[in-house]
Structure 1
């Protein structure tokens, strides 16, 4: 796995829009934060573009992303916002320069499409808070992002959940947003790795959709060769007038509770107040005991 070098003060990062359109004013908190870390910030040409919901055309977003990949001055690319649209540019981008000059690609939610594609190419990336809305998240959401970018060791401890499966494992981490992973099934971007730890989270989905997605991932064999599972926020779930009959966590437990591998629910990442940074593609240490869960890397 190609791992980007640690950032240092004076390095330059780029903020680009791979999905929904973003205004420069929405980035001011993130720009000030990055500058307080001693970083320089370059604003990509996709910021401020508009094509209905998207930040310009697919070609415009892809060209901006490609420019930042190719520019040796840029040490990390911070995706500005999620929504939808990152998958539309995957086949328009030449990721091969990252094989020789890896740099952190940072984001979550819709950016899962890029993360999954990079993992299959053997390039580590960073599941972390995006610029838009960063001021409304916990201080730890920003501080752990900085910590991972600058190469500091991280230890996350979170409380026990009744559906947890105890155990301890060290393995590479894959995953991201459940809905996006589901949408990649059958494509060359769907995760191919074995003996890994899978993490996932989701937002604003119907409960029967969660069950449908879990059925799909099961039938695609994703659960058959895992070493561990980490479940983040299953946030603002919806139900029909006739209830589905299970919570999101109960649905997930039906599919993973019998796998005889460590499973940790309630991890501090996703569409919630605390969205801690996690390195995808890199080996992490997961420990789940009867009192708490711990992630260390």
Structure 2
């Protein structure tokens, strides 16, 4: 076990710790996760919160049967415009009812209503953990996606992989968050990130809502991975409501 994994595992087992807030994202969680010891986690359950690279932990915990929080991290606590995101994290940590997320109509929205447990996070990391012990099933669930600083053809490649591997086929619904600072090549790819996602979502019949405040922007509202939720998409826009539940 690496030093980092040993330290993290000791925090998982510490009964005095009620939550672990990952300080920042970046790179490396997929290298760390196999060294973590969750064998005593049922006796000492606690919130683990973060986003971006922490998607690996969010998914790994869901596969083990535990909820976790996809939300703003301490390195971003004081960013301008992030006050609502920080408050949403506080509400999730203390088991208070989450406020519904309502977004304006989007030209790519696909109408309908879906219910299911939330799964998802950073598209690049979901692609990375496909076929590993950290991959959580999407079947019957509402998938949410976000990403940062990726080439548009990478977005297409990853969405194609989710499609060809059958991971999109059983979705109840799809929530699309921020796709920030996307890159393109000298010869343009020809589609924006949301249009790429739509080209694959359109192969199925689940509802899809675009423009949700989730991802690498200041308005990164907390979502509880594993929490039962309801997605409603119609002419007035899209709405995501999480069921009320107590803290871990």
- Please tell me the TM-score bracket, short chain as reference: over 0.9
Could you tell me how far 1:193 is from its partner in structure 2? 4.3
Q: State the TM-score, normalized to the length of structure 1.
A: 0.79
Q: How many angstroms apart in 1 are the aligned matches of 2:138 and 2:198?
A: 22
Q: How many angstroms apart in 1 are the aligned matches of 2:6 and 2:157?
A: 35
Q: How many angstroms apart in 1 are the aligned matches of 2:7 and 2:219?
A: 29
Aligned to 1:278: 223
Could you tell me how far 1:199 is from its partner in structure 2? 0.6
Q: How many angstroms apart in 1 are the aligned matches of 2:113 and 2:44?
A: 33
Q: How many angstroms apart in 2 are the aligned matches of 1:165 and 1:144?
A: 26
Aligned to 1:145: 89
Higher-RCO chain (CA-CA 8 Å, sequence separation at least 6): 2
Q: Does 1:183 align with 2:134?
A: no
Equivalence map 1:241-260=2 (5 Å): 241-260=186-205
The answer to whether the 8 Å contact 2:138/2:167 transfers is no
The answer to whether the 8 Å contact 2:138/2:168 transfers is no
Q: Does 1:116 align with 2:59?
A: yes
Q: How many residues align?
A: 240
The answer to whether the 8 Å contact 1:98/1:123 transfers is no
Could you tell me how far 1:146 is from its partner in structure 2? 0.4
Q: Which runs of 5+ in 2 are unaligned?
A: 243-248
4+ residue runs over 4 A deviation: none
Q: Deviations over 1:170-206 (max 9, x none)?
A: 2100011000001111212112242001011000000
Aligned to 2:246: none
Q: Which has the larger radius of gyration?
A: 1
Q: Does 1:167 align with 2:112?
A: yes
Aligned to 1:59: 2
Q: State the TM-score, normalized to the length of structure 2.
A: 0.94
Query: SS of the counterpart of 2:26?
Result: coil
RMSD over aligned Cα, in angstroms? 1.2
Query: SS of the counterpart of 1:276?
Result: coil
Aligned to 2:68: 125
